[in-house]
Structure 1
Amino acid sequence: MVDNHVHFGLIAKLRECAYAPTEASFQQRWTKLKGTRRSGINNFLEDMPPKHWANAYFRGKQYREMTSNVAKSFNKWILDACNYPITRLVDTIKNQIMTMRAERKVLATNWNGLLYPKMKSCVREAYSNGCTWIVSQENEDIYEVHLFPTVLVNIGKRSCSCFQWQLNEFPCAHAVVAIQNSGRDFSTCVEQFFTVDQYKVAYSRYIQPIPTVDKPSFLEDDFIIYPLAVKRPPG
């Protein structure tokens, strides 16, 4: 039996492997994890190739998300509705989504600028953290950000040697200060996914209400599903 201290230590090491941005850093952390000499770790991950769970090997676009928390949030959001009969459950969820979409559509009408508020805050925080860094220009695209370790930013290719820009599809702190120093339009360096315009497009459509005023009346007892009238076979 693994005690809680060891359990949380293994989870922390596994998390470090998952979030490692490069294959080299992944291998370093993976070696440390295997060095715990817990055979259960290897057995647990033997059928889970790193490309399915590790940043360094994943080749899709994750847009800064590494967990399934969104599914958990949705399940919690519809928790009360889960106790309803199926028809009422569907109708309740439909109404919740319809209301949510309408509220977010109205909210977005008050937003100005390129990025929606959450990402705008990320840029401000990134620049605040890196505004004192020294930036050297190699050519019109390539910049060197001097800190420890020194990183290379290629604005034209939207890449940084820390690999966070490539992983998140959003400029890291190194890229933010390099873009600021380059004088370029920030809109050319950001995926449309993070923009106000794209947010508005996502919530531009609406869910059509389904009125029941013209439907025939019914008794709730007509929709009760009774168990099958069968007898248990002998034996």
Structure 2
Amino acid sequence: MENGFKEHLIRKLGDCAYEPTVTGFHALLEELKRKGKQRAYNFLSGLELEHWANAYFRGQRYGEMTSNAAESFNNWIKEARNLPITKLVDTIRNQIMCQMSERRDIANKWNGIICPTFETNLQDSFNSSRSWNVSKANDDVFEVHSFPSVTVDVGRCVCSYYQWQINGFPCEHAVAAIQRSAYNLNDCVEKYFHVENYREAYAAAIFPIPSMEKPNFCSSDFIILPPIVKRLAGRPRKSRIPS
């Protein structure tokens, strides 16, 4: 029962974190506090909203809400973690070398402007928003009659639902508005998601280090001696003589 209640509160916390609008966030937060009672209040009391809530975050998350890069990296090198330090470093170098080469080869086969995964996301957003009516205020600003209805400023890449600003990637409302505007959809996507930038990220190569060029191994070079401890200045401590 206790575990089920805890998991329920964690899901509610996740709902709060992902909610993009301030109004929706506070409605979900009040529900979390009501159900979690004192434990929820204690947990939330020291958390600054801009550090965990989308509604108050004023940067771009590019669709990411976690910071578990270290955990992913540790899992990626788990077979090498118990190796001696020099072998560990060389194994990681080889893994990165191969990964960069593989991703470079994959990216060179792409013919589009947007990376394929996000190209699919754009198509899904277009399909989801096809039934919505869009009203034009001027060349940049549109009202998308979804539920709820939102305002989209295509020229400023701003949506009143705030999802576009958070991700740097057009949400369903934005896609609907862009389709009715004179703007090119690809130009409204952050360069972060463009194939050109992906290729540039993996353009550099990490080169092999042949073992024949490495210095000869000597086990004595890898013996770690204890630190040298200096006696502190002052009078020597008197030893006790048993009576």
State if a TM-score over 0.5 links the two structures: yes
Deviates more, 1:68-77 or 1:126-135: 68-77
Distance in 2 (alpha carbons) for counterparts of 1:215 and 1:152: 62
Secondary structure of the 2:211 match is coil
Deviation at 1:37, TM superposition (A): 4.6
The corresponding residue for 1:67 is 66
Distance in 2 (alpha carbons) for counterparts of 1:214 and 1:164: 52
Is residue 159–residue 173 contact of structure 2 (8 Å, CA) maintained in 1?
Answer: yes
The corresponding residue for 1:195 is 194
The corresponding residue for 2:14 is 15
Is residue 139–residue 182 contact of structure 2 (8 Å, CA) maintained in 1?
Answer: no
Secondary structure of the 1:29 match is helix
Q: Write out aligned runs for 1:58-97 (5 A).
A: 58-97=57-96
Secondary structure of the 1:144 match is strand
The corresponding residue for 1:125 is 124
Deviation at 1:30, TM superposition (A): 1.1
Q: 1:217 to 1:122 in 2, by over 3 A?
A: same
Q: How does the TM-score come out when normalised to structure 1?
A: 0.90
The corresponding residue for 2:240 is none
Deviation at 1:183, TM superposition (A): 4.0
Distance in 2 (alpha carbons) for counterparts of 1:9 and 1:215: 55
Q: Write out aligned runs for 1:15-164 (5 A).
A: 15-164=14-163
Distance in 2 (alpha carbons) for counterparts of 1:201 and 1:179: 28
Distance in 1 (alpha carbons) for counterparts of 2:214 and 2:19: 57
Q: What is the letter of the counterpart of residue 215 of structure 1?
A: K
Is residue 115–residue 193 contact of structure 2 (8 Å, CA) maintained in 1?
Answer: yes
Secondary structure of the 1:80 match is coil
The corresponding residue for 2:220 is 222
Deviation at 1:28, TM superposition (A): 1.0
What stretches of structure 1 of length at least 5 have no aligned partner? Answer: 231-235
Q: 1:86 to 1:179 in 2, by over 3 A?
A: same
Deviation at 1:160, TM superposition (A): 1.1
Q: What is the letter of the counterpart of residue 222 of structure 1?
A: S
Deviation at 1:228, TM superposition (A): 4.5
- CA deviations on 1:137-166 (whole Å, 9 max, x unpaired) are 111001111122111111011011111101
Deviates more, 1:139-148 or 1:209-218: 209-218
Distance in 1 (alpha carbons) for counterparts of 2:189 and 2:106: 22
Deviation at 1:78, TM superposition (A): 0.6
Q: How does the TM-score come out when normalised to structure 2?
A: 0.87
Deviation at 1:69, TM superposition (A): 4.2
Distance in 2 (alpha carbons) for counterparts of 1:90 and 1:108: 27
Q: What is the letter of the counterpart of residue 153 of structure 2?
A: N
Deviation at 1:226, TM superposition (A): 6.0
The corresponding residue for 1:233 is none
Distance in 1 (alpha carbons) for counterparts of 2:95 and 2:144: 47
What stretches of structure 2 of length at least 5 have no aligned partner? Answer: 229-243
Secondary structure of the 1:92 match is helix
Deviation at 1:44, TM superposition (A): 2.1
RMSD of aligned alpha carbons: 2.0
Q: What is the letter of the counterpart of residue 216 of structure 2?
A: S
Distance in 2 (alpha carbons) for counterparts of 1:132 and 1:112: 30
Task: Report sequence identity in percent.
Answer: 45
Distance in 2 (alpha carbons) for counterparts of 1:38 and 1:71: 33
Larger radius of gyration: 2
Is residue 112–residue 195 contact of structure 2 (8 Å, CA) maintained in 1?
Answer: yes
